[in-house]
A and B are shown apart, each in its own frame.
Chain A
């Protein structure tokens, strides 16, 4: 009952899972030396968010409230950066976190931000500074990790009911890889398993592309959008040997979202929509169970 109330906002699940991944990296994959990097991402993100709230707040008296509300999102994008983007320069790390957050405020269409903050932060930093990089190999390729991340991610998307996006993208991308590597080229199965059991791909599928704020609203446009991203990412990764292709494709595909939203009209996503409904039902259930226990 307690836990149910705590996790009424799905973003807390995301934070929990991302923190587990980061802990796994720090403990088992020796990312200890990168503590300063994670710290920089988090601190810069939070400070930037606070400044943005002050500068862009509609009602100056309530900026603190809206800042508090936005904290989970800031944490999520900081985790996104920590888990994917590497650099050994302080200013580059600050730049990445700054770009991630500020993009939410200055690049907007119809009151909705265009880019997933951490994806944009990663791409902009790599392209503009040339001093940062992504390494898909940093996870190792333990099949156990694949399984764990998959399950955990599954829960997250189930909760947000955004499973369509993750599964469509993964299904198409992994399917294409399978057809190319196993059916066409004829590699043994473990070759293929290694290609897909990278933490980066799964993090992308479950935590980045699923961001409801930056995906099309309508289910049909969502599916079209995901399939397109999967195809382009597969092409770039397989034939152009581009590392971290999905993240790049996602960023370049996001400006299409407002267009798709115009073509397929529906209500836009609110973090608390479904959740409020859930809380009411939870509350009723809890009340009932309390009553029962008293009886």
Chain B
């Protein structure tokens, strides 16, 4: 009955994206800088890691400073600034997507279906500012291992002997450290981590003709494969979102010290959600996060995005990241190609694993209580694809007088009821909340099949249903297991 599908989709802006990730902001004034959502690109193969941190600092850049624990002292060549748009492209491409289908009128064989594309984009705003801070060195057990000027950033790499000294050093150099940060400084120092301290160089910043801070990319060799989120919790109250775009040669990247959960996907939802897709997904995420006890890593996308693989998603909601995009993201094993030389373009390289790229998008929502540890990861050989995909279906229109048409209307009614139920289950929102949206954005085939008219019926049915407490299920299974063992024991 469904004849043709077409897509389409919405890249999601879960919330305005702010930088917060693994560093803490330090502010000279008693600033109330808060960070809520951050994005990082994480590329890993063997012991090498490339980490790119999105910088969407809002405020006066002279108040901007970031401290990131790193396992080794980074050389100048290990640090660079990259194009900010890469994050937008990766986000658009891997974001949860809404898919549209069109029903065909069963009484009419020759309807032409249309497809359209809609995109809701993240509003990412950055603000300009400038900064200039003097750094004084003191004998506090703090050693400036290296000092670089890279792009618009002044970068220091510090090593410290004890947290008190580091704290004092930072304070005397004009950084204001959140109290909560002290709890984690000591363990980091004792784990032999170095501190990558970033500030904005006003002069260089003014030379650039842009009003944002570019992302910083660092690379290093270490068997440790982790993201230090604990420091980032220092000046953030409440929950913070972190989106990790991870790339590996072998397969999916998984979190090893938190549970990996696939976000609910392939769900049929009512048509009117199209208008509110962002808030729909945001509710869905919050609901699932609550249900899963919060300490989890949500998988939102996983696919083989190797340049030789043309099939990257179904449907694709944005242009796939190009080879250049990937190289810029830090996928170093794709680098080295001379882009003015196309002689190898038709040579099918044998798939020796060396040019494969697997893209995993993980979404964390962390807080101090649920995330006691930094995030640890591993590259797995899991090549299974995944995408967060939600389906809306436009009903057929026209005359439904034929037998098939009547049956279609009945099925439609059932389907739409299911969609409404699904919506309630997914978002945890009371069904009454949909009344208005349902009445406004509907294109029902008949009055009977309008969402608004189906809602009261669902409410009635809802009351009749009773949930079976989950505890009973476990108990039942335990009993079943014992009984089967007993029975089977008798056989042997």
Contacts and interface: CB of A to CB of B under 8 A. Distances in A.
Interface string A168-189: 0000000000000100111110
Interface stretch (A27-35, A104-112, A246-254, A285-293): A27-35
B160 to A, nearest CB: 14
Nearest to A142: B293
Contact of B485 (A12, A141, A185): A12
Contacts of A190: 372
A133 B382 contact: yes
B187 to A, nearest CB: 4
A144 to B, nearest CB: 10
A27 B474 contact: yes
B114 interface: no
Interface stretch (B148-156, B257-265, B455-463): B257-265
Contact of B482 (A16, A69, A243): A16
Contact of A241 (B190, B225, B382, B486): B225
Contacts of A141: 257-259, 295
A87 B473 CA distance: 27
A62 interface: no
Contact of B478 (A20, A88, A138): A20
A135 B481 contact: no
A6 B487 CA distance: 9
B373 interface: yes
Interface string B233-267: 00000000000000000000011111111100000
A223 interface: no
Nearest to B482: A16
A48 B482 CA distance: 26
B256 A71 contact: no
Given A23-B481, A133-B380, A185-B191, A243 B372 contact: no
Q: B-side binding surface: helix, strand, loop or mixed? A: mixed
A271 interface: no
A222 interface: no
B191 A16 contact: no
Interface in B358-380: 372-373, 376, 378, 380
Contacts of A71: 492
Interface stretch (A93-101, A191-199, A212-220, A226-234): A191-199
Contact of A187 (B187, B258, B382): B187
A39 interface: no
A71 B376 CA distance: 38
Contact of A188 (B260, B372, B382, B474): B372
Contacts of B296: 140
Contact of B256 (A28, A135, A186): A135
Contact of B259 (A88, A140, A195): A140
Contact of A137 (B225, B260, B292, B481): B260
A195 B373 contact: yes
Contacts of A139: 259
A140 B293 contact: yes
Interface string B82-114: 000000000000000000000000000000000
A27 B223 contact: no
A240 interface: yes
A137 B373 contact: no
Contacts of A15: 481, 485
Nearest to B225: A241
A19 interface: yes
A132 B477 contact: no
Interface centre among A130, A133, A138 (most CB of B within 10 A): A133
Nearest to B188: A185
A135 B380 contact: yes
A23 B484 CA distance: 14
Contact of A88 (B183, B258, B384): B384
A6 B489 contact: yes
A147 B492 CA distance: 33
Nearest to A28: B470
Nearest to B487: A6
A193 B293 CA distance: 16
Contact of A184 (B190, B259, B297, B486): B190
Interface in A227-270: 240-241, 243
B325 interface: no
B474 A23 contact: yes
A163 interface: no
Contacts of A20: 474, 477-478, 481
Contacts of A142: 293
B478 A23 contact: yes
B168 interface: no
Given A20-B478, A88-B382, A194 B187 contact: no
B428 interface: no
Interface string A1-44: 01100100000100110011001100111100000000000000
B284 to A, nearest CB: 15
Given A136-B257, A137-B256, A137-B258, A188 B183 contact: yes
A125 B23 CA distance: 39
Nearest to B226: A241
Given A135-B378, A135-B380, A186-B187, A23 B477 contact: yes
Nearest to B379: A133
A131 interface: yes
B16 interface: no
A221 B174 CA distance: 59
A274 interface: no
B381 A186 contact: no
B186 interface: yes
A241 B223 contact: yes
Given A30-B261, A137-B260, 18 more contacts: A6-B486, A19-B481, A23-B477, A27-B473, A27-B474, A27-B477, A30-B262, A69-B492, A71-B492, A88-B384, A133-B382, A135-B260, A136-B257, A137-B255, A137-B259, A138-B260, A140-B259, A140-B296
Interface of A: 2-3, 6, 12, 15-16, 19-20, 23-24, 27-30, 68-69, 71, 86-88, 130-133, 135-142, 181, 184-188, 190-191, 193-195, 240-241, 243
Enumerate the 9 nearest inter-chain pairs by beta-carbon distance, A residue then B residue, closest first: A190-B372, A185-B187, A140-B259, A133-B380, A23-B477, A19-B481, A241-B223, A186-B186, A131-B381
13 contacts: A19-B481, A20-B478, A20-B481, A132-B381, A133-B381, A133-B382, A137-B259, A185-B190, A185-B191, A186-B187, A191-B372, A191-B373, A195-B373
